[in-house]
A = this chain, B = another copy of it.
Amino acid sequence: MSEPLVISIDAMGGDHGPSVVLPGLEKAIQSLGAGKVRFLLHGDPSIIESALLASSGLRDVCEPRAAQGVIAMDAKPAHAMRRGKGTSMWNTVESVRSGEARAAVSAGNTGALMAISRLLLRTAGNLDRPALVANWPTLRGTSSVLDVGANLICDAERLVQFAIMGSAYHRVIHRVARPSVGLLNVGTETEKGHEDVRSADRLLRATSMTFDYHGFVEGDDIAKGSVDVVVTDGFTGNVALKTAEGLARFFRAELRRTFTETALSRVGAFVAQQSLRGMSTRLDPSGINGGPFLGLNGIVVKSHGGADANGFANAVRLADSLGRSAFIAEIDRDLLLSATTQSEPMRARTVA
C-alpha cells in the first residue's frame, strides 16, 4: 500500500475555529479513506489533544503540532507577515515549504494567508501574487473563474498565465482533459475591449497550449457555462463574483417574500419545500467562495471563513486532489513554455 498523503491543517482558522475544522476533518477522512491521508494539526495543543482523545477516527490519522497564537480574521496582511511567525496559519504553510506536507488548508484571514504563502513558498514564474480561483456554478456544471481578487491590474502576459494556471487546475479538479478557456470582455468581436485583453487574445491565439482557447466571453457567459475556465483581472473578477453573491442573496430574499406573500403562495411553498431547499443550497454564495491559490510553489487551499464542517471537508478533499496531481509541475512547464513562445516575435522584431 502506498504512503498516505500528508495535509497540513490550520486547526484554529475561520469564524468557528476547531469547532468546525475538527468535525470537517472527520467527514473528510470518511470520504477519502482512513489509510489514504494523514493530517498535521497546527494549533492550541490543549484543544487539539482533547479533541483527539474524544475521537479515535481523528487520533489515528492526526499528528498534533503545537502553535502559539492565531492570526485574527481582520488582521492586516502586512502585520500578519511581520508578526505571524509561529502562529497556527504560519506553521500550516511552513509544513508545505519544508516538504513535510503536500498541501495546506486554512479557513483563516484570506489576505494574511496569501501574504504568508507568498513569503514562505514564493510564486512560480514571474508572478507577483498568486491568483484566486472561484468555482462558479453554471447551467452546465462548474466553471473556474480567475483571478477573483489578488492581482488588480493585469497585463496581457499575466492574463495568459492565468489561462495556463486555471486550465491546469480545472483539468485536475473537474477531470476535463483539454479545458476550454475564455477571456472576459465587453464583447466577443476581436476589436472589443482595452489593449490588455486584445493583446492577451492575440497571444492566446498564437500560442499552442494544453487547453482550447475559445476567445472572448461576456459576463453572461459565466453562468451559462460557455467555457470551463474564465480568465480576467483580479479587479473585474472580484466585482463580478461579489455582484453575483449579492444577486444570489437578492434572489433568495425575493423567493422568501414571494412565498409568504399570500395564503395560496404559503401553501405552495409548504408543498414544494423540499425542492426549494435543494435550490437554496445550490445558490449558496459560500459555495462559490474559497478555493486554492494558484501560482505558488506549493498547494494552499483557502476554505471559506464561515463554512461549516461540510464546507471544510470539501476544502480538504480539494487539497487532497491537488496534492495527488502533478498540477504544480504542469503549471511550471506551461508557464516556461509560454514565456519562450511569447518572446519569439519580440526577438524577430529586434532582428528585423
Contacts and interface: CB of A to CB of B under 8 A. Distances in A.
Contacts of A249: 220, 223-224
A272 B269 contact: yes
B239 A194 contact: no
Contacts of A274: 262, 264-265
A278 B254 CA distance: 10
A203 to B, nearest CB: 19
B186 A250 contact: no
A222 B235 contact: no
A132 B267 CA distance: 43
A65 B305 CA distance: 63
Contact of A240 (B219, B267, B272): B219
B264 A245 contact: no
B258 A276 contact: yes
Interface of A: 137-139, 149, 152-153, 184, 186, 193-194, 218-224, 232, 234-236, 238-251, 253-255, 258-259, 261-262, 264-265, 267-276, 278-279, 282-283
Given A223-B250, A251-B283, A238 B186 contact: yes
Nearest to A111: B187
A240 B238 contact: no
A283 B258 CA distance: 12
A149 B243 CA distance: 16
B186 A149 contact: yes
Contact of A250 (B139, B235, B236): B139
Q: Is the interface of A mostly helix, strand, loop or mixed?
A: helix
A332 to B, nearest CB: 28
Nearest to A241: B219
A275 B262 contact: yes
A194 B244 CA distance: 22
B271 A246 contact: no
A223 B235 contact: no
Contacts of A275: 258-259, 261-262, 264-265, 268
B250 A238 contact: no
A76 B278 CA distance: 45
Nearest to A191: B76
A74 to B, nearest CB: 10
A272 B244 contact: no
Given A186-B149, A264-B271, A254 B282 contact: yes
Nearest to A219: B242
B235 A186 contact: yes
A272 B246 contact: no
Given A186-B152, A265-B275, A278-B258, A219 B232 contact: no
A238 B186 CA distance: 6
Contact of A239 (B240, B255, B269, B283): B240
A17 B153 CA distance: 42
Contacts of A279: 254-255, 258
A153 B195 CA distance: 10
Given A244-B247, A247-B248, A254-B282, A235 B194 contact: yes
Contacts of A264: 271-272, 274-275
